[in-house]
Amino acid sequence: MFKLKGIIPPMVTPFDREKKVDEASTKRLVTFMLEAGVDGLFLLGTMGEGLALAAREKYRLVEIVLSEVRGRCPVIASASDPAWEETLANVKELERLGVDAVVVLQPAFFKLLSGEDVEKYFFAVAEATELPVVIYNNPSLTGNEIPLENMQRLMASPQFAGVNSSGDFDYLISLLALRNETRREFSVLQGNEAALAPALLAGADGLVPGIGSLATRFVKKIYAAVRAGEKEEALDLQQKMNSFFDGIYGPDVSDWLRGHKEALAYLGIIDCPETVYYQPLSAERKARVHAAVERWKGFLVGE
């Protein structure tokens, strides 16, 4: 039975100046994350800019990562696309390439879909593949929620391996209760960096921290403290993570992606901090990111 647990960061996608996948930087980043102790890698999610990439670039990234990982941890990848047929085509190609599971976001842009609409969407995708499907719940970006009654029916099906849920902590708590009632093999994962310790203390199976490409070692400290029963230590580390998070993402979180890539470039892990849509950081904002890296460097690259 495929079970997701531990630290499974959504990896950023390293680009060159032409906004194409940078193979050398991708290999260095994968090595950095493996050495930091990831329990899996999540490709082409929000942090990986998956919805902004042409299919050829998506598949090239997956090929590079799989060749570098060589089975050392599970690799899951988003198949989502605004076009229904492209989502199905991505599912088939990702299965052919050899990922361990596909990740699917609820439909975006067409807001106010019913719970039944969303549920049937996920089942239709699952029927198109032999791979486990991970549900990526992100209503703040898609405009569509997954009502709990529909989530429970998805959870009950062995076609679905788990859910990565971002944002609403009350919703996460409800998911954990549903998992315990419905199917314990189903993984409930948390992606909100500001609530990693609380999510684990509440019973989450693992973490999908957006900042994980850079800060897996930091997140692992929180994870280890919770597993050791050191609640106060875990919450203290969470406060430190929140301070670090502010330094990289900015006080209004608007630098969430470019700040993250700037930090990785500053450490020499990727060659440039290029993103698809965001403009480069100003000198002042770069200085803030660099200062945060220097302050917390021991948590990022080891003592």
List pLDDT tens digits, range 78-126. Answer: 999 999 999 999 999 999 999 999 999 999 888 889 999 999 999 999 9
Cβ-contact 202, 172 below 8 angstroms: yes
Domain boundaries, the chain: 6-234
Confidence of residue 189 (pLDDT cuts 50, 70, 90): very high
Confidence of residue 277 (pLDDT cuts 50, 70, 90): very high
Six token digits for residue 205: 């199976």
Query: Tokens 């990986």 appear where?
Result: 48
Cβ-based neighbour number of residue 106 at 10 Å: 22
Q: What is the pTM of this model?
A: 0.96
Instruction: Please enumerate in sequence order all residues whose Cβ is within 8 A of that of 137, keeping only pairs 6 or more positions apart, or say none.
Output: 106, 146, 151, 163, 164, 165, 166, 171
pLDDT, mean of residues 263-291: 98
pLDDT at residue 1 greater than cutoff 80: no
What are 121-138's pLDDT values in tens digits? 999 999 999 999 999 999
Tell me the pLDDT of the chain averaged across its residues: 96
Q: Which fold has domain 6-234?
A: TIM Barrel (3.20.20)
End-to-end Cα spacing for the chain: 36
pLDDT, mean of residues 43-70: 97
Residue 26 to residue 132: CA distance in whole angstroms: 25
Residue 216 to residue 301: CA distance in whole angstroms: 9
Nearest to 288 by CA among 257, 251, 238: 251
What was the pLDDT predicted at 303?
Answer: 59
pLDDT, mean of residues 181-195: 95
